[in-house]
Structure 1
Amino acid sequence: MRTLNYITLIMAIAVLSSCNNENNTLNIEVYETSEAGNKLTRITHFQKSETVSLIKLNPNREFQTITGFGGAFTESSAYLLNQLSNKNRDTILKAYFSKEGANYSLTRTHMNSCDFSLTNYSYTPVENDKNLEYFTIEEDKGDLIPMIKDAMAISEDGFKIFASPWTAAPWMKDNKHWVGGKLLPKYYDTWALFFSKYLEAYKNEGIDIWGFTVENEPHGNGNNWESMHFSPKEMTDFVQFHLGPKLEADGYSDKIILGYDQNRAGLKEWVDEMYRDEESSKYFDGTAIHWYESTYEVFPEALQYAHNKAPDKYLIETEGCIDSQVPVWKDDAWYWKKEATDWGWDWAAEEDKYLHPKYAPVNRYARDIIGCLNNWVDGWVDWNMVLDKQGGPNWFENWCIAPIIVNPEKDEVYFTPLYYIMVHFSKYIRPGAKVIELEKSDDQLMATAVVNPNKSIVVVLFNESEESKSINLNLNESTMTFSISAQSIQTILIPKV
């Protein structure tokens, strides 16, 4: 997708060497988070390095339009917020949703319970209630809905929310369990009605749901926590013949439907089926993906295939986190070390172990988001916003790390380095931005760039190496020379030019 044009880059070098007067200097702001301790720090003094990386921006060549960045509202996160003092609760919500903070623009929540719930529950507790006369979201009113509404009150720009079911109630499934099994065909219409009922119930609470993923992880999750299995054809048939028409009939045709919602390596068979013809394609607004097949490998070929199959549809990373890992408390250095594992370290097939190395949590986030943006992904959503020191609460004890960790017993809050990585993207790259062409001379430096709706340009750089680098940035024959620290991420903001 982003092919390096070496002839153009050589021409850029010539331009860089001749542009030393003030009239040809770009006015930029540089914000850095680094292993050395910077946390979204404004950098104004730069040190020269022997290693010089050349970057040239071409805003005339545009790619995908950005939908947004953010995280998920889960019952676990909402419950923890309610265990904190009002001051710390407010601090966390402002950190995520205020303009001064991360200014999240795209969020997710779960329908019925998920692993990051306190227990199993369903909005349809009465068996054989085919018309869902006893549908209720009462379980969400104690923690989850207040968190969402308070975030809405803080956010000046607003944010999109999409919802995902982990499973239907056991009475609708062939195995009669929360975990695994398939939706019985006789309940397909009931399950489509479930989505419509959810929209109505949340609207009555003052919350507008932007759209849905059809099913979280339709391959299942090893029969561990809530799940419900679909094949590509089963999901596509459900959307084409049941969910899409039901939302249309109930006046919700504007709601977004994202198919798949699992790992990137399986994209081809899913998008081939979802977009098999015009009748199926019209109900799918895009494809949802997760990163757990590998939090190290982006799978660019799969992402590009999915985009090319449906170039006018969304391609959104709807969940990613540092999984199978108890959080490390108040030790920033650990998040920069290549010590964290993921589920695949223990459980992946031997031939797939290379996809699951020990790797620094910060590097996973920075590499993945930049890699996604450079391969047609238009939104990136983190998992839980808040977890405790154990990496829960989680009814299955499936511990994970969130960007913000809390100790409710002592009313303490820890902003991990992962929080600042998210801010580098979400705060500065706004919905409606266009990813633009970027050429660079250094393969070891990761980089992406966008033009925002206000015409400002944002460049995000990630230097994974152990040495600092000097950067020569060229835009429209204007240049700026600055540097990036070893083991750091930078956001470069270029005001409207």
Structure 2
Amino acid sequence: MKNYLYYLGVLFLCASTLTVNAQDADFSNKEIKIYTTSKDTDLRLSITGTAQFKEATQPLETEISLFINPKKTFQNILGIGGAITDASAEIFAGLPKEQQQHLLDAYYDSEKGIGYSLLRTTIHSSDFSKESYTYVEEGDADLNTFSIAHDQQYRIPMIKRATQTAGGKLTLYVSPWSPPAFMKTNGSMLKGGKLKPEFRQNWANYYAKFIKAYEAEGMPIWGLTIQNEPMATQTWESCIYSAEEERDFLKDYLGPTLEKEGLGAKNIVVWDHNRDLMVNRSNVIFEDPEASKYAWGTGFHWYETWTGAEPLYENVNRVHEAFPDKKLMFTEGCIEKFDASRYQYWPNGERYGEQMIHDFNNGTVAWTDWNILLDQNGGPNHVGNFCFAPIHADTTTGELIYTPSYYYIGHFSKFIKQQAKRLSSAVSRSVLMSTSFENIDGSYVTVVMNKTDENLSYSLYIQGAETTLEIPAHSIQSLVY
């Protein structure tokens, strides 16, 4: 009998503790600040009002509702940002000093701008360089001539200034587009080809030399991807790896080499290509224990729609379900086929908002745009692959042109800080899209997007509290509370 009473008491105490914990987050006295960007208005990340929570009532099927459960949390956010390429750095260097600072503030200052915390750059050239180049003389397999002098003219100075503007710290990762021509089966950095087996060790050594050279410049490297778009034979720098080839290069060469060189803590990201084949690539690499032990996670792009398919957001979640101990990083996306008459084309911004909401809701921990700056022609690009960036510079006038994409990205990067936790959230109608986070300072951020032609009223429910809000047609809002 005594044992029965003892366990009954323990159960009562546990139940009491759970009841207290369920009520320790009080939203009734929280004020919501509403930031809005909206088509056909001057609203660009503008404060458009505040709202107050009240005691929640039963939501109705006739209402548009957004439900947030702050007790159910998911991934921590590593960062949001973009790439500093040769193109971005060279354009930046040609801007007037005042405009240079405006650009840095716009991206990397969390008060004046949108607070980027993540940065990608390339290992030697990509299509967004004025020409193909490497860090060694052609044929130097032993890498005796290795030098990053090329990057010290434009790219490294810009990365350093961006880091300074961001408060002294940016999460920096790097990606190669192609090994040097002499290491490849087609004898060219361009148009695909593969890494010759006899140069696998030399190429692994190249990554280590690059990382050490950049870190000697005072730029810590968080990690690297193995190969940009390893299934795309492009007119620019490219190199093809099957899933098995990437797996074997990782486990037999790259992973062991970084460990041997004292770089074993660097985070290695596999795939770095579109969502369509990311499940296959993750299966092959992560199901091999010797390869998997070197891999931090899977990187992916958004260009799978080139085949005519819709965006395959569910594949991100499939990888997350199958390998929950591995991370997911969006490593590149941009609006292709540059056309200066479409600088303010609103669907470009909406594409970013939709993609980011889906990717975060499917478990992504980091999200990286492509070039942060391009010129009035969508370049420079040495093979004519001209694209949009969130900000363009007219090099004839020095003017900076902000596109809708900049503001849509900003609704996430400005408010969702590093180490924020994603919260369980859902909408009751498909007319809205949304995602929610709790920052480490205890503040909450909910991003809501309306792609319809109608102004919408919706109710937000959280922890026994609710409020009713308005969102204009073709708008995105960040709710901070």
The two structures have a TM-score, normalised by structure 1, of 0.86
5+ long unaligned stretches in structure 1:
1-21, 337-359
Q: What is the CA–CA distance in structure 2 between the aligned matches of 1:327 and 1:214, rounded to whole Å?
A: 34
The corresponding residue for 2:195 is 183
Structure 2 matches for 1:194-343, cutoff 5 A?
194-221=206-233, 223-294=234-305, 297-328=310-341, 332=344, 335-336=345-346
> How much has 1:325 moved relative to structure 2?
2.4
The corresponding residue for 2:46 is 41
> How much has 1:78 moved relative to structure 2?
0.4
The corresponding residue for 2:36 is 32
What code does the residue aligned with 1:440 have?
V
* Identity percentage of aligned residues: 37
- Distance of aligned partners of 1:196 and 1:45 in 2 relative to their CA distance in 1, 3 Å threshold: closer
- Distance of aligned partners of 1:69 and 1:458 in 2 relative to their CA distance in 1, 3 Å threshold: same
Q: What is the CA–CA distance in structure 2 between the aligned matches of 1:189 and 1:171, rounded to whole Å?
A: 14
The corresponding residue for 1:489 is 476
- C-alpha contact 2:432 2:451 (8 A) present in aligned 1: yes
SS class of match (2:440)? coil
> How much has 1:278 moved relative to structure 2?
1.8
Post-superposition Cα deviations, 1:357-413, rounded to whole Å, max 9, x if no partner, equal: xxx211211110001111111111100000111100101010100000111111111
SS class of match (2:328)? strand
The corresponding residue for 1:3 is none
Single out whichever of 243-252 and 466-475 deviates more from structure 2: 466-475
- C-alpha contact 1:112 1:168 (8 A) present in aligned 2: no
Q: What is the CA–CA distance in structure 2 between the aligned matches of 1:261 and 1:297, rounded to whole Å?
A: 19
The corresponding residue for 1:113 is 125
Q: What is the CA–CA distance in structure 2 between the aligned matches of 1:310 and 1:278, rounded to whole Å?
A: 12
The two structures have a TM-score, normalised by structure 2, of 0.89
What code does the residue aligned with 1:369 have?
M
- C-alpha contact 1:25 1:478 (8 A) present in aligned 2: no
Q: What is the CA–CA distance in structure 1 between the aligned matches of 2:389 and 2:27, rounded to whole Å?
A: 45
- C-alpha contact 1:25 1:480 (8 A) present in aligned 2: no
The corresponding residue for 2:376 is 389
Q: What is the CA–CA distance in structure 1 between the aligned matches of 2:262 and 2:238, rounded to whole Å?
A: 29
> How much has 1:435 moved relative to structure 2?
1.0
- C-alpha contact 1:31 1:43 (8 A) present in aligned 2: yes
> How much has 1:98 moved relative to structure 2?
0.9
Q: What is the CA–CA distance in structure 2 between the aligned matches of 1:138 and 1:158, rounded to whole Å?
A: 23
Structure 2 matches for 1:46-195, cutoff 5 A?
52-100=63-111, 101-127=113-139, 129-156=140-167, 158-179=169-190, 180-195=192-207
SS class of match (1:387)? strand
Instruction: Select 1:379's aligned residue among 354, 366, 372.
Output: 366
- C-alpha contact 1:99 1:156 (8 A) present in aligned 2: no
- Distance of aligned partners of 1:146 and 1:174 in 2 relative to their CA distance in 1, 3 Å threshold: same
The corresponding residue for 1:341 is none
SS class of match (2:466)? strand
Greater RCO (Cα-Cα under 8 Å, separation 6 or more): 1
SS class of match (2:341)? coil
Q: What is the CA–CA distance in structure 2 between the aligned matches of 1:45 and 1:273, rounded to whole Å?
A: 50
> How much has 1:157 moved relative to structure 2?
6.3
What code does the residue aligned with 1:281 have?
S
Q: What is the CA–CA distance in structure 1 between the aligned matches of 2:168 and 2:478, rounded to whole Å?
A: 21
Structure 2 matches for 1:361-376, cutoff 5 A?
361-376=348-363
- C-alpha contact 2:84 2:155 (8 A) present in aligned 1: yes
The corresponding residue for 2:59 is none
- C-alpha contact 1:328 1:389 (8 A) present in aligned 2: no
Q: What is the CA–CA distance in structure 2 between the aligned matches of 1:300 and 1:153, rounded to whole Å?
A: 35
> How much has 1:456 moved relative to structure 2?
1.0
Instruction: Select 1:476's aligned residue among 454, 463, 478.
Output: 463
- C-alpha contact 1:26 1:478 (8 A) present in aligned 2: no
What code does the residue aligned with 1:30 have?
I
Q: What is the CA–CA distance in structure 2 between the aligned matches of 1:312 and 1:493, rounded to whole Å?
A: 30
SS class of match (1:59)? strand
Q: What is the CA–CA distance in structure 1 between the aligned matches of 2:145 and 2:472, rounded to whole Å?
A: 58
- Distance of aligned partners of 1:23 and 1:273 in 2 relative to their CA distance in 1, 3 Å threshold: closer
Post-superposition Cα deviations, 1:424-445, rounded to whole Å, max 9, x if no partner, equal: 1111111111111113211110
What code does the residue aligned with 1:304 have?
N
- Distance of aligned partners of 1:88 and 1:174 in 2 relative to their CA distance in 1, 3 Å threshold: same
- C-alpha contact 1:126 1:134 (8 A) present in aligned 2: no
- C-alpha contact 2:275 2:313 (8 A) present in aligned 1: no
How many aligned residue pairs are there? 441
Q: Are 1:434 and 2:421 counterparts?
A: yes
